[in-house]
Chain A
Amino acid sequence: MAPAIEVADLHKSYGSLEAVRGVSFEVQPGEIFGLLGPNGAGKTTTVEILEGYRERSGGDVRVLGKDPQVRDRRLQERIGIVLQSSGFYPRVTVREAVSHFSKAYPAPRDPEETIALVGLEEKADARTKDLSGGQRRRLDLALALVGDPDLIFLDEPTTGFDPAARRTAWGVVRRLKELGKTMLLTTHYLDEAQELADRVAIVKDGRIVAEGPPDSLGPGSSRYRVSYLSDGRRVEHQTDDPTELLHRLTRDALARGERLEGLEVTRPTLEEVYLELTREADAA
Protein backbone atom coordinates (compact mmCIF):
# COMPACT_ATOMS: atom_id res chain seq x y z
CA MET A 1 0.00 0.00 0.00
CA ALA A 2 1.29 3.49 -0.80
CA PRO A 3 2.31 5.58 2.19
CA ALA A 4 -0.32 8.00 3.52
CA ILE A 5 2.31 10.70 3.83
CA GLU A 6 5.62 10.97 1.98
CA VAL A 7 8.02 13.79 2.79
CA ALA A 8 11.33 13.96 0.93
CA ASP A 9 14.00 16.54 1.70
CA LEU A 10 11.45 19.17 2.68
CA HIS A 11 12.74 22.72 3.01
CA LYS A 12 10.93 25.85 4.10
CA SER A 13 12.45 29.30 4.47
CA TYR A 14 10.90 32.52 5.67
CA GLY A 15 13.23 35.11 4.18
CA SER A 16 16.67 34.28 5.52
CA LEU A 17 15.26 32.06 8.28
CA GLU A 18 15.33 28.35 7.44
CA ALA A 19 12.52 26.82 9.49
CA VAL A 20 12.72 23.36 7.90
CA ARG A 21 16.08 22.14 6.57
CA GLY A 22 15.68 18.86 4.79
CA VAL A 23 13.08 16.74 6.57
CA SER A 24 12.19 13.29 5.19
CA PHE A 25 9.79 10.70 6.57
CA GLU A 26 6.94 8.43 5.58
CA VAL A 27 3.76 7.57 7.41
CA GLN A 28 2.08 4.28 6.54
CA PRO A 29 -1.71 3.86 6.41
CA GLY A 30 -3.14 3.07 9.81
CA GLU A 31 -0.06 4.32 11.60
CA ILE A 32 0.22 6.99 14.29
CA PHE A 33 3.34 9.02 13.63
CA GLY A 34 4.55 11.50 16.23
CA LEU A 35 6.62 14.61 15.61
CA LEU A 36 8.36 15.60 18.80
CA GLY A 37 10.50 18.60 19.44
CA PRO A 38 10.98 21.85 21.28
CA ASN A 39 9.09 25.01 20.32
CA GLY A 40 10.42 26.52 17.11
CA ALA A 41 11.87 23.21 15.91
CA GLY A 42 9.81 23.31 12.70
CA LYS A 43 7.08 20.81 13.66
CA THR A 44 4.13 23.07 12.99
CA THR A 45 5.67 24.45 9.78
CA THR A 46 6.10 20.89 8.51
CA VAL A 47 2.56 19.92 9.44
CA GLU A 48 1.07 23.08 7.94
CA ILE A 49 2.81 22.33 4.64
CA LEU A 50 1.24 18.84 4.70
CA GLU A 51 -2.17 20.35 5.52
CA GLY A 52 -1.94 22.68 2.52
CA TYR A 53 -1.62 25.94 4.46
CA ARG A 54 1.92 26.76 3.37
CA GLU A 55 3.97 26.36 0.25
CA ARG A 56 7.28 24.56 0.56
CA SER A 57 10.56 26.12 -0.54
CA GLY A 58 12.05 22.81 -1.66
CA GLY A 59 11.71 19.05 -1.62
CA ASP A 60 8.69 16.92 -2.33
CA VAL A 61 5.54 16.15 -0.37
CA ARG A 62 2.67 13.73 -1.02
CA VAL A 63 -0.41 13.43 1.16
CA LEU A 64 -2.67 10.50 0.24
CA GLY A 65 -0.85 10.53 -3.07
CA LYS A 66 -1.56 14.21 -3.78
CA ASP A 67 0.44 17.41 -3.56
CA PRO A 68 -1.26 19.43 -0.78
CA GLN A 69 0.01 22.70 -2.27
CA VAL A 70 -2.32 22.25 -5.25
CA ARG A 71 -5.32 22.52 -2.88
CA ASP A 72 -7.47 19.83 -4.43
CA ARG A 73 -10.88 19.71 -2.79
CA ARG A 74 -10.86 15.90 -3.02
CA LEU A 75 -7.77 15.82 -0.80
CA GLN A 76 -9.33 18.18 1.73
CA GLU A 77 -12.35 15.83 1.88
CA ARG A 78 -10.16 13.00 3.12
CA ILE A 79 -8.16 14.79 5.80
CA GLY A 80 -9.13 16.15 9.19
CA ILE A 81 -7.17 18.94 10.84
CA VAL A 82 -6.88 19.86 14.49
CA LEU A 83 -4.95 23.13 14.49
CA GLN A 84 -2.78 24.19 17.37
CA SER A 85 -5.06 27.08 18.17
CA SER A 86 -8.20 28.23 16.47
CA GLY A 87 -11.16 30.15 17.71
CA PHE A 88 -14.74 29.56 16.81
CA TYR A 89 -18.11 31.22 16.42
CA PRO A 90 -18.97 31.93 20.05
CA ARG A 91 -22.73 31.93 19.66
CA VAL A 92 -23.44 28.59 18.01
CA THR A 93 -24.00 25.37 19.88
CA VAL A 94 -21.75 22.33 19.61
CA ARG A 95 -24.47 20.47 17.70
CA GLU A 96 -25.02 23.33 15.24
CA ALA A 97 -21.27 23.67 14.64
CA VAL A 98 -20.63 19.99 14.00
CA SER A 99 -23.74 19.65 11.87
CA HIS A 100 -22.87 22.71 9.77
CA PHE A 101 -19.27 21.63 9.17
CA SER A 102 -20.43 18.13 8.21
CA LYS A 103 -22.16 19.58 5.15
CA ALA A 104 -18.87 20.40 3.44
CA TYR A 105 -17.99 16.67 3.19
CA PRO A 106 -19.28 14.11 0.70
CA ALA A 107 -19.72 11.25 3.20
CA PRO A 108 -19.73 12.77 6.68
CA ARG A 109 -19.92 10.91 9.92
CA ASP A 110 -23.21 11.39 11.78
CA PRO A 111 -22.87 14.64 13.81
CA GLU A 112 -24.45 13.14 16.94
CA GLU A 113 -22.17 10.14 16.77
CA THR A 114 -19.17 12.41 16.27
CA ILE A 115 -20.11 14.49 19.32
CA ALA A 116 -20.43 11.27 21.34
CA LEU A 117 -17.09 10.00 20.03
CA VAL A 118 -15.27 12.96 21.57
CA GLY A 119 -17.38 12.81 24.73
CA LEU A 120 -19.28 16.08 24.33
CA GLU A 121 -22.86 14.65 24.41
CA GLU A 122 -23.72 16.54 27.57
CA LYS A 123 -22.55 19.81 26.03
CA ALA A 124 -24.24 19.33 22.64
CA ASP A 125 -26.64 22.21 23.26
CA ALA A 126 -24.10 24.50 24.93
CA ARG A 127 -22.83 27.48 23.01
CA THR A 128 -19.15 27.23 22.24
CA LYS A 129 -18.30 30.32 24.31
CA ASP A 130 -19.54 28.46 27.40
CA LEU A 131 -17.21 25.49 26.93
CA SER A 132 -14.09 24.96 29.02
CA GLY A 133 -10.69 24.91 27.34
CA GLY A 134 -10.63 21.12 27.23
CA GLN A 135 -14.18 20.91 25.92
CA ARG A 136 -13.33 23.41 23.17
CA ARG A 137 -10.37 21.23 22.20
CA ARG A 138 -12.74 18.26 21.95
CA LEU A 139 -14.98 20.35 19.70
CA ASP A 140 -11.88 20.99 17.52
CA LEU A 141 -11.44 17.24 17.35
CA ALA A 142 -15.13 16.66 16.53
CA LEU A 143 -14.93 19.21 13.68
CA ALA A 144 -11.84 17.45 12.32
CA LEU A 145 -13.56 14.04 12.51
CA VAL A 146 -17.01 14.87 11.19
CA GLY A 147 -15.88 14.46 7.57
CA ASP A 148 -14.85 10.87 8.42
CA PRO A 149 -11.28 11.50 7.19
CA ASP A 150 -8.73 8.79 6.40
CA LEU A 151 -5.87 10.92 7.67
CA ILE A 152 -5.98 13.16 10.73
CA PHE A 153 -3.49 15.86 11.69
CA LEU A 154 -3.32 16.54 15.41
CA ASP A 155 -1.19 19.55 16.29
CA GLU A 156 -0.63 19.46 20.05
CA PRO A 157 -4.13 18.12 20.67
CA THR A 158 -4.00 17.91 24.46
CA THR A 159 -2.07 21.04 25.40
CA GLY A 160 -3.76 22.58 28.42
CA PHE A 161 -5.70 19.42 29.32
CA ASP A 162 -5.89 18.12 32.87
CA PRO A 163 -4.63 14.53 33.29
CA ALA A 164 -8.12 13.01 33.16
CA ALA A 165 -9.01 14.90 29.98
CA ARG A 166 -5.75 13.77 28.40
CA ARG A 167 -6.59 10.13 29.15
CA THR A 168 -10.00 10.64 27.53
CA ALA A 169 -8.40 12.22 24.45
CA TRP A 170 -5.91 9.38 24.22
CA GLY A 171 -8.82 6.96 24.32
CA VAL A 172 -10.39 8.76 21.35
CA VAL A 173 -7.11 8.58 19.42
CA ARG A 174 -6.84 4.83 20.11
CA ARG A 175 -10.42 4.31 18.92
CA LEU A 176 -9.59 6.17 15.72
CA LYS A 177 -6.61 3.92 15.24
CA GLU A 178 -8.86 0.88 15.65
CA LEU A 179 -11.03 2.37 12.92
CA GLY A 180 -7.97 2.28 10.67
CA LYS A 181 -7.26 6.02 10.61
CA THR A 182 -3.79 7.34 9.95
CA MET A 183 -2.65 10.11 12.28
CA LEU A 184 0.17 12.60 12.34
CA LEU A 185 0.58 13.91 15.86
CA THR A 186 2.79 16.73 17.04
CA THR A 187 3.30 17.04 20.72
CA HIS A 188 5.76 18.28 23.27
CA TYR A 189 4.48 15.77 25.80
CA LEU A 190 6.86 12.84 25.65
CA ASP A 191 4.52 10.51 27.52
CA GLU A 192 1.86 11.29 24.93
CA ALA A 193 4.17 10.28 22.09
CA GLN A 194 5.27 7.18 23.99
CA GLU A 195 1.65 6.27 24.74
CA LEU A 196 0.14 6.86 21.31
CA ALA A 197 2.68 6.88 18.52
CA ASP A 198 3.79 3.80 16.61
CA ARG A 199 6.83 5.75 15.48
CA VAL A 200 8.20 9.13 16.43
CA ALA A 201 10.61 11.55 14.86
CA ILE A 202 12.45 14.02 17.04
CA VAL A 203 12.79 17.36 15.29
CA LYS A 204 15.41 19.90 16.25
CA ASP A 205 16.38 23.06 14.36
CA GLY A 206 14.42 22.05 11.28
CA ARG A 207 15.93 18.56 11.01
CA ILE A 208 14.98 15.09 12.17
CA VAL A 209 17.63 13.99 14.69
CA ALA A 210 16.15 10.58 15.49
CA GLU A 211 13.33 8.41 14.23
CA GLY A 212 11.82 5.09 15.19
CA PRO A 213 9.38 3.36 17.54
CA PRO A 214 9.38 5.24 20.86
CA ASP A 215 10.86 2.29 22.76
CA SER A 216 13.81 1.81 20.45
CA LEU A 217 14.73 5.39 19.91
CA GLY A 218 18.09 7.03 20.00
CA PRO A 219 21.71 5.96 19.81
CA GLY A 220 22.07 5.14 23.51
CA SER A 221 18.71 3.53 23.92
CA SER A 222 19.82 -0.02 23.30
CA ARG A 223 21.86 0.17 26.50
CA TYR A 224 20.19 -1.19 29.59
CA ARG A 225 20.93 0.19 33.00
CA VAL A 226 21.36 -2.21 35.86
CA SER A 227 21.64 -0.69 39.30
CA TYR A 228 21.52 -1.78 42.93
CA LEU A 229 22.33 -0.47 46.36
CA SER A 230 25.69 -1.18 47.88
CA ASP A 231 26.34 0.22 51.37
CA GLY A 232 23.43 2.59 50.82
CA ARG A 233 24.85 3.97 47.56
CA ARG A 234 23.41 3.21 44.16
CA VAL A 235 25.83 1.52 41.80
CA GLU A 236 24.95 1.66 38.11
CA HIS A 237 26.20 -0.38 35.15
CA GLN A 238 25.27 0.12 31.49
CA THR A 239 25.20 -2.79 29.12
CA ASP A 240 23.93 -4.02 25.78
CA ASP A 241 23.50 -7.50 27.24
CA PRO A 242 21.69 -7.40 30.59
CA THR A 243 21.34 -11.20 30.74
CA GLU A 244 25.05 -11.74 30.98
CA LEU A 245 25.58 -8.82 33.35
CA LEU A 246 22.76 -9.82 35.68
CA HIS A 247 23.96 -13.37 35.78
CA ARG A 248 27.41 -12.22 36.75
CA LEU A 249 26.19 -9.75 39.39
CA THR A 250 23.76 -12.15 41.05
CA ARG A 251 26.26 -15.04 40.96
CA ASP A 252 28.91 -12.90 42.66
CA ALA A 253 26.44 -11.66 45.23
CA LEU A 254 25.26 -15.17 46.04
CA ALA A 255 28.85 -16.33 46.31
CA ARG A 256 29.43 -13.58 48.88
CA GLY A 257 26.19 -14.49 50.60
CA GLU A 258 24.73 -11.05 49.92
CA ARG A 259 21.52 -9.72 48.44
CA LEU A 260 21.45 -7.05 45.74
CA GLU A 261 19.22 -4.52 47.48
CA GLY A 262 17.05 -2.32 45.24
CA LEU A 263 18.04 -4.15 42.05
CA GLU A 264 16.64 -2.44 38.96
CA VAL A 265 16.95 -3.05 35.25
CA THR A 266 15.74 -0.08 33.18
CA ARG A 267 15.90 1.26 29.70
CA PRO A 268 16.20 5.00 29.08
CA THR A 269 12.81 6.69 28.81
CA LEU A 270 11.92 8.64 25.73
CA GLU A 271 12.41 11.75 27.81
CA GLU A 272 16.03 10.90 28.52
CA VAL A 273 16.65 10.11 24.87
CA TYR A 274 14.96 13.32 23.88
CA LEU A 275 16.95 15.45 26.29
CA GLU A 276 20.16 13.77 25.22
CA LEU A 277 19.43 14.30 21.53
CA THR A 278 18.31 17.87 21.79
CA ARG A 279 21.34 18.64 23.96
CA GLU A 280 23.66 17.06 21.40
CA ALA A 281 22.08 19.14 18.70
CA ASP A 282 22.66 22.22 20.83
CA ALA A 283 26.32 21.40 21.24
CA ALA A 284 26.82 20.69 17.55
Chain B
Amino acid sequence: MSPIALAWQQFRFERKLFWRNPSAAFFNFLLPLLLLVLTASAFSADHEELEILIPGIAGMGVLATTFTSLAFNITVLRDDGVLKRWRGTPMPAGSYMAGLLASAALNAFAQVLLVVAIGNVAYGVDWPQEPLLLVLFTALGVVCFAALGIAFSHAIPNEDAAPAYTNAVFLPTIFISGVFYSSDDLPEALKAIAEALPLKHLIDGLSEAIVGGGGDAGTAALVVAAWTVAGLVLAVRYFRWE
Protein backbone atom coordinates (compact mmCIF):
# COMPACT_ATOMS: atom_id res chain seq x y z
CA MET B 1 0.00 0.00 0.00
CA SER B 2 1.14 3.52 -0.72
CA PRO B 3 1.88 5.82 2.23
CA ILE B 4 -1.32 7.74 1.44
CA ALA B 5 -3.44 4.59 1.41
CA LEU B 6 -1.85 3.58 4.72
CA ALA B 7 -2.66 7.00 6.20
CA TRP B 8 -6.27 6.47 5.14
CA GLN B 9 -6.33 3.01 6.76
CA GLN B 10 -4.88 4.49 9.94
CA PHE B 11 -7.48 7.26 9.88
CA ARG B 12 -10.30 4.72 9.64
CA PHE B 13 -8.74 2.70 12.45
CA GLU B 14 -8.50 5.83 14.63
CA ARG B 15 -12.18 6.62 13.97
CA LYS B 16 -13.10 3.13 15.14
CA LEU B 17 -10.99 3.58 18.27
CA PHE B 18 -12.57 6.98 18.94
CA TRP B 19 -16.13 5.67 18.95
CA ARG B 20 -15.20 2.58 20.95
CA ASN B 21 -14.21 4.75 23.91
CA PRO B 22 -17.50 6.47 24.72
CA SER B 23 -16.29 8.40 27.77
CA ALA B 24 -13.37 9.92 25.85
CA ALA B 25 -15.67 10.66 22.92
CA PHE B 26 -18.03 12.37 25.36
CA PHE B 27 -15.42 14.59 26.97
CA ASN B 28 -13.83 15.47 23.68
CA PHE B 29 -16.97 16.08 21.78
CA LEU B 30 -20.03 16.70 23.87
CA LEU B 31 -18.58 18.57 26.83
CA PRO B 32 -17.93 21.79 24.84
CA LEU B 33 -21.47 21.61 23.44
CA LEU B 34 -22.86 21.05 26.92
CA LEU B 35 -20.88 24.05 28.20
CA LEU B 36 -22.28 26.17 25.38
CA VAL B 37 -25.87 25.28 26.20
CA LEU B 38 -25.36 25.58 29.96
CA THR B 39 -23.54 28.91 29.80
CA ALA B 40 -26.02 30.39 27.37
CA SER B 41 -28.97 29.23 29.50
CA ALA B 42 -27.54 29.92 32.94
CA PHE B 43 -26.67 33.52 32.16
CA SER B 44 -29.63 33.97 29.79
CA ALA B 45 -27.09 35.33 27.36
CA ASP B 46 -28.22 38.21 25.19
CA HIS B 47 -27.35 38.45 21.53
CA GLU B 48 -24.09 40.30 22.17
CA GLU B 49 -22.92 37.74 24.73
CA LEU B 50 -23.83 34.90 22.38
CA GLU B 51 -21.64 36.46 19.71
CA ILE B 52 -18.74 36.11 22.15
CA LEU B 53 -19.74 32.67 23.40
CA ILE B 54 -20.21 30.94 20.01
CA PRO B 55 -16.69 31.65 18.62
CA GLY B 56 -15.28 31.10 22.13
CA ILE B 57 -16.76 27.62 22.49
CA ALA B 58 -15.76 26.81 18.91
CA GLY B 59 -12.16 27.75 19.76
CA MET B 60 -12.32 25.71 22.96
CA GLY B 61 -13.61 22.79 20.90
CA VAL B 62 -10.60 23.00 18.61
CA LEU B 63 -8.31 23.10 21.67
CA ALA B 64 -10.02 20.08 23.28
CA THR B 65 -10.17 17.90 20.16
CA THR B 66 -6.58 18.56 19.10
CA PHE B 67 -4.26 19.78 21.86
CA THR B 68 -5.81 17.99 24.84
CA SER B 69 -6.80 14.86 22.98
CA LEU B 70 -3.46 14.37 21.19
CA ALA B 71 -1.31 15.23 24.22
CA PHE B 72 -3.28 12.65 26.20
CA ASN B 73 -3.47 9.96 23.50
CA ILE B 74 0.16 10.14 22.48
CA THR B 75 1.25 9.90 26.10
CA VAL B 76 -0.90 6.79 26.55
CA LEU B 77 0.26 5.24 23.27
CA ARG B 78 3.88 5.90 24.17
CA ASP B 79 3.53 4.68 27.76
CA ASP B 80 1.72 1.49 26.68
CA GLY B 81 4.35 0.70 24.05
CA VAL B 82 1.94 1.00 21.12
CA LEU B 83 4.15 3.62 19.42
CA LYS B 84 7.17 1.36 19.86
CA ARG B 85 5.22 -1.50 18.32
CA TRP B 86 4.38 0.60 15.27
CA ARG B 87 8.00 1.69 15.07
CA GLY B 88 8.94 -1.96 14.51
CA THR B 89 6.68 -2.30 11.48
CA PRO B 90 7.07 -0.88 7.96
CA MET B 91 4.25 1.60 8.66
CA PRO B 92 5.75 4.97 7.60
CA ALA B 93 5.85 7.39 10.54
CA GLY B 94 4.25 10.05 8.33
CA SER B 95 1.30 7.82 7.40
CA TYR B 96 0.73 6.87 11.01
CA MET B 97 0.81 10.47 12.26
CA ALA B 98 -1.32 11.65 9.33
CA GLY B 99 -4.02 9.13 10.25
CA LEU B 100 -3.91 10.24 13.87
CA LEU B 101 -4.00 13.94 13.00
CA ALA B 102 -6.74 13.59 10.38
CA SER B 103 -8.94 11.93 12.98
CA ALA B 104 -8.35 14.80 15.42
CA ALA B 105 -8.97 17.31 12.61
CA LEU B 106 -12.31 15.68 11.78
CA ASN B 107 -13.37 16.01 15.42
CA ALA B 108 -12.32 19.66 15.47
CA PHE B 109 -14.21 20.56 12.28
CA ALA B 110 -17.30 18.63 13.43
CA GLN B 111 -17.10 20.49 16.73
CA VAL B 112 -16.95 23.93 15.10
CA LEU B 113 -19.79 23.02 12.75
CA LEU B 114 -21.98 21.80 15.62
CA VAL B 115 -21.31 24.88 17.72
CA VAL B 116 -22.17 27.20 14.83
CA ALA B 117 -25.30 25.14 14.01
CA ILE B 118 -26.52 25.17 17.63
CA GLY B 119 -25.83 28.89 17.77
CA ASN B 120 -28.03 29.44 14.76
CA VAL B 121 -30.82 26.95 15.41
CA ALA B 122 -31.15 27.30 19.19
CA TYR B 123 -30.04 30.88 19.77
CA GLY B 124 -30.69 32.66 16.51
CA VAL B 125 -27.10 33.74 15.88
CA ASP B 126 -26.58 34.38 12.16
CA TRP B 127 -24.78 31.80 10.02
CA PRO B 128 -21.07 32.65 9.61
CA GLN B 129 -20.41 35.87 7.76
CA GLU B 130 -17.32 34.48 6.04
CA PRO B 131 -17.49 30.68 5.75
CA LEU B 132 -14.18 30.40 3.90
CA LEU B 133 -12.39 32.35 6.62
CA LEU B 134 -14.00 30.06 9.19
CA VAL B 135 -12.61 27.00 7.41
CA LEU B 136 -9.17 28.60 7.13
CA PHE B 137 -9.01 29.62 10.78
CA THR B 138 -10.29 26.24 11.95
CA ALA B 139 -7.64 24.53 9.80
CA LEU B 140 -4.91 26.82 11.14
CA GLY B 141 -6.10 26.19 14.71
CA VAL B 142 -6.10 22.44 14.12
CA VAL B 143 -2.52 22.38 12.84
CA CYS B 144 -1.35 24.75 15.58
CA PHE B 145 -2.93 22.94 18.53
CA ALA B 146 -2.25 19.48 17.14
CA ALA B 147 1.46 20.35 16.90
CA LEU B 148 1.43 21.88 20.37
CA GLY B 149 -0.41 18.82 21.72
CA ILE B 150 2.22 16.46 20.34
CA ALA B 151 4.98 18.74 21.59
CA PHE B 152 3.37 18.89 25.03
CA SER B 153 3.07 15.09 25.20
CA HIS B 154 6.88 14.99 25.34
CA ALA B 155 6.76 16.85 28.65
CA ILE B 156 4.22 14.48 30.24
CA PRO B 157 6.11 11.80 32.18
CA ASN B 158 3.53 9.02 32.05
CA GLU B 159 -0.04 7.98 31.39
CA ASP B 160 -1.23 8.58 34.95
CA ALA B 161 0.00 12.17 34.90
CA ALA B 162 -1.60 12.96 31.53
CA PRO B 163 -5.02 14.25 32.75
CA ALA B 164 -3.38 16.55 35.32
CA TYR B 165 -0.89 17.94 32.81
CA THR B 166 -3.41 18.55 30.06
CA ASN B 167 -5.95 20.12 32.41
CA ALA B 168 -3.28 22.34 33.92
CA VAL B 169 -2.95 23.93 30.49
CA PHE B 170 -6.51 23.57 29.19
CA LEU B 171 -8.49 25.06 32.08
CA PRO B 172 -6.49 28.25 32.75
CA THR B 173 -6.16 28.87 29.02
CA ILE B 174 -9.90 28.76 28.35
CA PHE B 175 -10.62 31.03 31.32
CA ILE B 176 -8.31 33.80 30.15
CA SER B 177 -8.74 33.47 26.39
CA GLY B 178 -12.25 34.81 26.00
CA VAL B 179 -14.21 31.60 25.73
CA PHE B 180 -17.02 32.56 28.11
CA TYR B 181 -16.59 36.34 28.19
CA SER B 182 -14.54 38.87 26.31
CA SER B 183 -10.89 38.80 27.36
CA ASP B 184 -10.94 42.61 27.10
CA ASP B 185 -12.65 42.61 30.50
CA LEU B 186 -9.70 40.86 32.18
CA PRO B 187 -7.11 42.52 34.46
CA GLU B 188 -4.09 43.77 32.49
CA ALA B 189 -1.70 41.02 33.64
CA LEU B 190 -4.02 38.18 32.60
CA LYS B 191 -4.84 40.00 29.40
CA ALA B 192 -1.14 40.18 28.56
CA ILE B 193 -0.77 36.42 29.08
CA ALA B 194 -3.84 35.71 26.94
CA GLU B 195 -2.44 37.98 24.22
CA ALA B 196 0.76 35.96 24.12
CA LEU B 197 -1.03 32.61 23.87
CA PRO B 198 -2.62 31.30 20.66
CA LEU B 199 -6.16 30.44 21.80
CA LYS B 200 -7.30 34.05 22.22
CA HIS B 201 -6.12 34.80 18.70
CA LEU B 202 -7.78 31.72 17.25
CA ILE B 203 -11.03 32.84 18.89
CA ASP B 204 -10.54 36.36 17.48
CA GLY B 205 -10.17 34.85 14.02
CA LEU B 206 -13.18 32.56 14.45
CA SER B 207 -15.17 35.52 15.74
CA GLU B 208 -14.21 37.55 12.68
CA ALA B 209 -15.37 34.69 10.45
CA ILE B 210 -18.58 33.88 12.34
CA VAL B 211 -19.76 37.27 13.59
CA GLY B 212 -17.71 39.75 11.57
CA GLY B 213 -17.14 43.23 12.92
CA GLY B 214 -13.87 44.53 11.56
CA GLY B 215 -11.45 42.82 13.92
CA ASP B 216 -7.83 42.27 13.00
CA ALA B 217 -7.88 38.77 11.48
CA GLY B 218 -4.38 39.29 10.06
CA THR B 219 -2.71 39.72 13.47
CA ALA B 220 -4.72 36.77 14.82
CA ALA B 221 -3.53 34.56 11.96
CA LEU B 222 0.08 35.66 12.41
CA VAL B 223 0.17 34.86 16.13
CA VAL B 224 -1.43 31.44 15.61
CA ALA B 225 0.95 30.75 12.72
CA ALA B 226 3.96 31.64 14.88
CA TRP B 227 2.81 29.20 17.57
CA THR B 228 2.24 26.60 14.83
CA VAL B 229 5.86 26.86 13.72
CA ALA B 230 7.09 26.62 17.32
CA GLY B 231 4.76 23.66 17.95
CA LEU B 232 5.91 21.78 14.83
CA VAL B 233 9.58 22.30 15.63
CA LEU B 234 9.15 21.06 19.22
CA ALA B 235 6.84 18.19 18.19
CA VAL B 236 9.34 16.84 15.67
CA ARG B 237 12.53 17.69 17.55
CA TYR B 238 11.61 15.93 20.79
CA PHE B 239 9.42 13.11 19.47
CA ARG B 240 9.94 9.86 21.36
CA TRP B 241 8.58 6.49 20.26
CA GLU B 242 9.02 4.97 23.70
| Residues of chain A whose beta carbon lies under 8 Å from any beta carbon of chain B | 51-53, 73-74, 76-77, 79, 81, 83, 85-89, 91-92, 96, 100-101, 103-106, 143, 147
A209 to B1, CA, bound (A): 44
Question: How many residues of chain B have a CB within 8 Å of chain A?
Answer: 22
A55 to B87, CA, bound (A): 14
List 8 A-B pairs, minimum CB-CB distance, nearest first: A87-B80, A86-B81, A91-B20, A81-B88, A76-B90, A104-B91, A77-B90, A73-B90
Q: Is B16 an interface residue (CB 8 A)?
A: yes
> Would B92 and A103 count as touching, CB distance under 8 A?
no
Q: Is B44 an interface residue (CB 8 A)?
A: no
13 pairs of residues in contact across A and B, judged by CB atoms under 8 Å: A51-B88, A53-B88, A53-B241, A73-B92, A81-B85, A81-B88, A86-B82, A87-B79, A87-B82, A92-B20, A100-B9, A103-B9, A104-B90
Chain B residues lying within 8 Å of A101, measured Cβ to Cβ, are 89
> Would B88 and A76 count as touching, CB distance under 8 A?
yes
> Would A92 and B89 count as touching, CB distance under 8 A?
no
Q: A100-B9, A103-B1 are in contact. Are A86 and B85 (CB under 8 A)?
A: yes
Q: Is B175 an interface residue (CB 8 A)?
A: no
Instruction: Quote the shortest CB–CB distance from A106 to chain B (angstroms).
Output: 8
Chain A residues lying within 8 Å of B17, measured Cβ to Cβ, are 89, 91-92
Q: Is B27 an interface residue (CB 8 A)?
A: no
Q: Is B84 an interface residue (CB 8 A)?
A: yes
Which of A88, A91, A105 is B85 in contact with, Cβ under 8 Å? Answer: A88
Chain A residues lying within 8 Å of B241, measured Cβ to Cβ, are 53
Chain B residues lying within 8 Å of A105, measured Cβ to Cβ, are 89-90
Instruction: Quote the shortest CB–CB distance from B92 to chain A (angstroms).
Output: 7
Chain B residues lying within 8 Å of A53, measured Cβ to Cβ, are 84, 87-88, 241-242
Which of A51, A77, A83, A92 is B16 in contact with, Cβ under 8 Å? Answer: A92
Instruction: Quote the shortest CB–CB distance from B8 to chain A (angstroms).
Output: 10
Instruction: Quote the shortest CB–CB distance from B84 to chain A (angstroms).
Output: 6
Instruction: Quote the shortest CB–CB distance from B159 to chain A (angstroms).
Output: 10
State which residues 46-85 of B face A: CB under 8 Å. Answer: 79-82, 84-85
In the complex, the chain A residue whose C-beta lies closest to that of B79 is A87
In the complex, the chain A residue whose C-beta lies closest to that of B13 is A100
In the complex, the chain A residue whose C-beta lies closest to that of B20 is A91
Chain A residues lying within 8 Å of B16, measured Cβ to Cβ, are 92, 96
In the complex, the chain B residue whose C-beta lies closest to that of A144 is B88
| Residues of chain B whose beta carbon lies under 8 Å from any beta carbon of chain A | 1, 6, 9, 13, 16-17, 20-21, 79-82, 84-85, 87-92, 241-242
> Would B88 and A83 count as touching, CB distance under 8 A?
yes
Which of B9, B81, B92 is A87 in contact with, Cβ under 8 Å? Answer: B81
In the complex, the chain B residue whose C-beta lies closest to that of A74 is B90
A100 to B1, CA, bound (A): 12
A77 to B13, CA, bound (A): 21
Instruction: Quote the shortest CB–CB distance from B69 to chain A (angstroms).
Output: 15
In the complex, the chain B residue whose C-beta lies closest to that of A80 is B88
Chain B residues lying within 8 Å of A81, measured Cβ to Cβ, are 85, 88-89
Chain B residues lying within 8 Å of A73, measured Cβ to Cβ, are 90, 92
A199 to B9, CA, bound (A): 41
Instruction: Quote the shortest CB–CB distance from B215 to chain A (angstroms).
Output: 43
A101 to B6, CA, bound (A): 10
19 new A-B contacts, CB < 8 A, other than A53-B242, A81-B85, A104-B6, are A53-B84, A73-B90, A74-B90, A76-B89, A79-B88, A81-B88, A86-B80, A86-B82, A86-B84, A87-B81, A88-B80, A92-B17, A96-B16, A100-B13, A104-B1, A104-B91, A105-B89, A143-B85, A147-B90
A106 to B6, CA, bound (A): 11
A87 to B158, CA, bound (A): 14
A53 to B89, CA, bound (A): 11
A119 to B241, CA, bound (A): 30
Q: A83-B88, A103-B6 are in contact. Are A88 and B13 (CB under 8 A)?
A: no
Chain A residues lying within 8 Å of B21, measured Cβ to Cβ, are 91
In the complex, the chain B residue whose C-beta lies closest to that of A75 is B90
> Would A83 and B81 count as touching, CB distance under 8 A?
yes
A143 to B89, CA, bound (A): 9
**A51, A77, A86 — which one has the most chain B CB atoms within 10 A of its CB?**
A86
Instruction: Quote the shortest CB–CB distance from B23 to chain A (angstroms).
Output: 11
A89 to B83, CA, bound (A): 11
In the complex, the chain A residue whose C-beta lies closest to that of B10 is A100
Chain A residues lying within 8 Å of B242, measured Cβ to Cβ, are 53
Instruction: Quote the shortest CB–CB distance from A203 to chain B (angstroms).
Output: 22
A255 to B139, CA, bound (A): 99
Chain A residues lying within 8 Å of B92, measured Cβ to Cβ, are 73
Instruction: Quote the shortest CB–CB distance from A52 to chain B (angstroms).
Output: 7
